[in-house]
Amino acid sequence: MLTVAAAISQLTQAIEPRVSTETVEIAYSLGRVLATDIVATVSVPPADNSAMDGYAFCYSEAAAHAFDLPLSQRIAAGSLSKPLLKNTLARIFTGGEIPLGADTVAMQENCSESDSRVAIDVTVESGANIRPRGQDIAKGHTVIAAGAPIRAQEMGLLSSIGVVTVPVYQRLRVALFSSGDELIEPGRPLLAGQIYNSNRATMIGLVRALGMQPVDLGSVPDCPQATRDILVKAAVQGDVVLCSGGVSVGEEDHVKAAVAALGAIDFWRVAIKPGKPLAFGNVRGVPFIGLPGNPSSVFVTSYILARPFLQACQGHADWQPRVYKARAAFKRAGETREVYLRARLNSLSGAVEIFSNQSSGVLSSACWGDVFVRQKSGESIKVDDLVDVLPYSAQY
């Protein structure tokens, strides 16, 4: 079996985006992945401006006149300033452009104005309360690099340099389906031997949360020909094929054999718990990931193994999961595989606790928690040990 690290490496090595690019308006760019570097054509701010409501003046002139100078102009944000008359000061407001000849701003509440003269705060330091040109962004610098996901803050930052549209990767189409005779869709009567299909909804949710486009092909019965047919359909309609179930060693598990017949299986089985029977390969040249069938196994392997691969295919430059440290509020013996425990952080103590039942069929454990605890192969955990913690939503 491959280790988790080796599986992720094999999944993501030498991957290039599998989608073309398009241009979208900034207002519609949330969640998209930037396709090219964005270089600033202006500085932000474009000129020195005041960080406070107050008075702008030349510090050396003020010091020579006992910090008492007459007013010569008023500068509001957005108005054009004039060069400062020698031995005078200007009333200025937050965001107002610093006039030529001034190098310091004193806060208005620390000054006293009377008869068009101002007694300046003598404790103010030279150069205080000025935001210099290019303090945030310097003209000619790369503001955001290709491969970065666009969040609300990136939308604002791009707008601050006058960008109207951005080149982004098209949304990755992930064709997905579930395999199994026992599966029935919610809304229909549940008969003996059947279970409601939760994996389909989990996979759709994962794909949408990543800003990608799910192509929902429903479920397929445990039939070799039906399995081959749906795989061919998925390869036509998707940039990547994702399925749950049918990749284990049972007599009714037909997905792995069908993928091998239509393309190739690059690896099968990973030393992860839950989720050992995971397959990776291709269907007629289209990448394929076969997740296990148990609900918690689907949840864990989707986040730990499928997500980095899908992000790399979408053009993300940083697909590595975020790993933090927290103190364990539990103890647990080591196992031969790398275990991903459904857990949650205690907001008061900062410690991490695990759900009492870590069975691969208990999906409620994932809803109860907000992080995974990564228990490395052979690692025993004692109370107060520092453990690896991976937040569910680390890269959204």
Which CATH number is 160's domain given?
3.90.105.10
User: Tens digit of pLDDT for each residue in 53-105?
Assistant: 999 999 999 999 999 999 999 999 999 999 999 999 999 999 999 999 999 99
The yes-or-no verdict on residue 32 having pLDDT over 80 is yes
User: Tens digit of pLDDT for each residue in 168-189?
Assistant: 999 999 999 999 888 989 999 9
Last residue of a domain, one of 82, 107, 131: 131
Last residue of a domain, one of 284, 314, 344: 314
Burial of 225 (0-12, 13-18, 19+ CB in 10 A): exposed
207 and 110, same structural domain?
no
Give percent of the chain above pLDDT 70.
Answer: 98
Do strands 324-327 and 386-391 pair parallel, antiparallel, or not at all (unpaired)? antiparallel
264 and 192, same structural domain?
yes
pTM of this prediction exceeds 0.85: yes
254 and 176, same structural domain?
yes
Mean pLDDT, residues 254-273:
94
304 and 335, same structural domain?
no
Asked whether residue 396 is domain-assigned, the answer is no
299 and 362, same structural domain?
no
Q: How many residues are listed for the chain in this entry?
A: 396
Higher-confidence residue: 262 or 13? 262
213 and 158, same structural domain?
no
User: 158 is in which domain, residue-wise?
Assistant: 21-44+135-169
Q: What is the reported pLDDT for 368?
A: 96
Asked whether residue 319 is domain-assigned, the answer is no
Contact 33, 169 (CB under 8 A): yes
The answer for residues whose C-beta is within 8 angstroms of residue 180's C-beta and 6 or more apart is 219, 221, 222, 245, 246, 293
77 and 88, same structural domain?
yes
Average pLDDT, the chain: 94
354 and 267, same structural domain?
no
Asked whether residue 299 is domain-assigned, the answer is yes
The answer for residues whose C-beta is within 8 angstroms of residue 101's C-beta and 6 or more apart is 58, 83, 84, 85, 86
- 193: domain CATH number is 3.40.980.10
296 and 197, same structural domain?
yes
User: Tens digit of pLDDT for each residue in 121-139?
Assistant: 999 999 999 999 999 999 9
- 68: domain CATH number is 2.170.190.11
Asked whether residue 303 is domain-assigned, the answer is yes
The yes-or-no verdict on residue 23 having pLDDT over 90 is yes
Q: What is the reported pLDDT for 205?
A: 95
Q: What is the reported pLDDT for 252?
A: 61
- 332: domain CATH number is 2.40.340.10
Asked whether residue 39 is domain-assigned, the answer is yes
Total domains in the fold of the chain: 4
* CB neighbourhood size of 189 (10 A): 6
Task: Give residue for tokens 């998925």.
Answer: 234
Distance, first Cα to last Cα, the chain: 30
Q: Residue 250 — very low, low, confident or very high, per pLDDT cuts 50/70/90?
A: low
Last residue of a domain, one of 314, 339, 367: 314
Contact 307, 206 (CB under 8 A): yes
Q: What is the reported pLDDT for 13?
A: 84
180 and 159, same structural domain?
no
Q: Residue 395 — very low, low, confident or very high, per pLDDT cuts 50/70/90?
A: very low
Q: Residues 250, 254, 257, 263: what is their CA dihedral angle, to the nearest 10 degrees? A: -150
The yes-or-no verdict on residue 396 having pLDDT over 50 is no
Please give the Cα distance from 211 to 314 (Å, whole number).
9
Please give the Cα distance from 273 to 294 (Å, whole number).
11
159 and 288, same structural domain?
no
213 and 246, same structural domain?
yes
3-class SS at 78? coil
Asked whether residue 216 is domain-assigned, the answer is yes
Write out the two tokens for 237: 């309609």
